[in-house]
Chain A
Amino acid sequence: NAGVMQNPRHLVRRRGQEARLRCSPVKGHSHVYWYRQLPEEGLKFMVYLQKENIIDESGMPKERFSAEFPKEGPSILRIQQVVRGDSAAYFCASSPGAKSPLHFGNGTRLTVT
């Protein structure tokens, strides 16, 4: 049973470039969540998606950030024109439904130089 798979594990981008982070949920899970974590801090909610739909994006910055979870394929978190402040660990989680534990991947560590 594969857990949540995220790739790449590490991503380095220069300021102004685009970052694409991928997440394959646990097989059979249709709910996907993205969280951001800065060093020595907790995880901050970004967005919650079900297949093809964004349910809650209240934690997403208004500009440059977008997320999708297409009918086929992984969920993608996209950051356009990255800035140094975007450097963080980005975690994806999935669940089979509400009020179920979230299963987390091992994250993508984004470094913007």
Chain B
Amino acid sequence: GESVGLHLPTLSVQEGDNSIINCAYSNSASDYFIWYKQESGKGPQFIIDIRSNMDKRQGQRVTVLLNKTVKHLSLQIAATQPGDSAVYFCAENIIIQGAQKLVFGQGTRLTINP
């Protein structure tokens, strides 16, 4: 669902550990999902996407899992590095009358500890 103005959830992990960031989406008709990374002072940067006909997709050090039954999305980052510190947003793509709208989740701030 969309951000409701609360403080961002935070996740701290040790460098080298794996991290899992979770997201719940709102629209059962959504069929395309994207994870973005946002560093301070910058715009969101595409990480990985997944379509609803899949339940898992892997990239370089990242894996996205999709559970349509419970409308849940997760992002797994393997062997975290200091450069992974950022805010991570999931987004669901909603198509209404042929027009695309990307709806962002609240975001999670990931901090990598040395």
Q: In the complex, which residues of chain A have a beta carbon less than 8 angstroms from the beta carbon of B36?
A: 104
Are A106 and B105 neighbours in the complex by a CB distance under 8 Å? Answer: no
- Asked if A101 and B107 make an inter-chain contact with CB atoms under 8 angstroms apart, the answer reads no
Interface centre among A4, A56, A95 (most CB of B within 10 A): A56
Nearest to B109 among chain A residues (CB) is: A40
Indicate which residue in A38, A41, A56, A105 contacts B43 across the interface (CB closer than 8 Å): A105
Nearest B residue to A9, CB-CB: B41
A38 to chain B, nearest CB (A): 7
Asked if B8 lies at the interface with its beta carbon under 8 angstroms from chain A, I say yes
Alpha-carbon separation in the docked complex, A42 to B44 (Å)? 10
Q: How far is B12's CA from A84's CA once the two chains are assembled, in angstroms?
A: 34
- In the complex, the answer to whether A98 meets B44 with C-beta atoms within 8 Å is no
Which of B61-69, B72-80, B88-96 is near enough to bind chain A? B88-96
Number of A interface residues at 8 Å Cβ cutoff, please give it. 27
**Interface SS of chain B:** strand
Check if B41 sits within 8 Å of A106, measured CB to CB: yes
A56 near B99 with CB under 8 A, answer yes
Asked if A56 meets B101 with Cβ closer than 8 Å, knowing A40-B8, A106-B43, A107-B43, the reply is yes
Count A-B pairs with CB separation below 8 Å.
66
Report yes or no: B100 in contact with A42, Cβ–Cβ below 8 A: no
The residue in chain B whose Cβ has the minimal distance to the Cβ of A55 is B99
Choose among A31, A35, A106, A107 the residue that contacts B100 (Cβ–Cβ < 8 A): A31
Which residues of A16-63 are within 8 A (CB) of B? 31, 33, 35, 38, 40-45, 48, 55-56, 58
On whether the beta carbons of A42 and B99 are closer than 8 Å, the reply is no
Q: Which of B8, B49, B101, B105 contacts A45 (CB 8 A)?
A: B101
Tell me the B residues contacting A by CB distance below 8 Å: 2-3, 5, 7-8, 32, 34, 36, 41-46, 49, 89, 93, 95-96, 98-107
Chain A to chain B: the 8 pairs with minimum beta-carbon distance, closest first? A42-B3, A104-B43, A42-B104, A98-B100, A41-B3, A56-B99, A55-B99, A43-B104
Residues of chain A at the chain B interface (Cβ within 8 Å):
4, 31, 33, 35, 38, 40-45, 48, 55-56, 58, 91, 93, 95, 98-99, 101-107
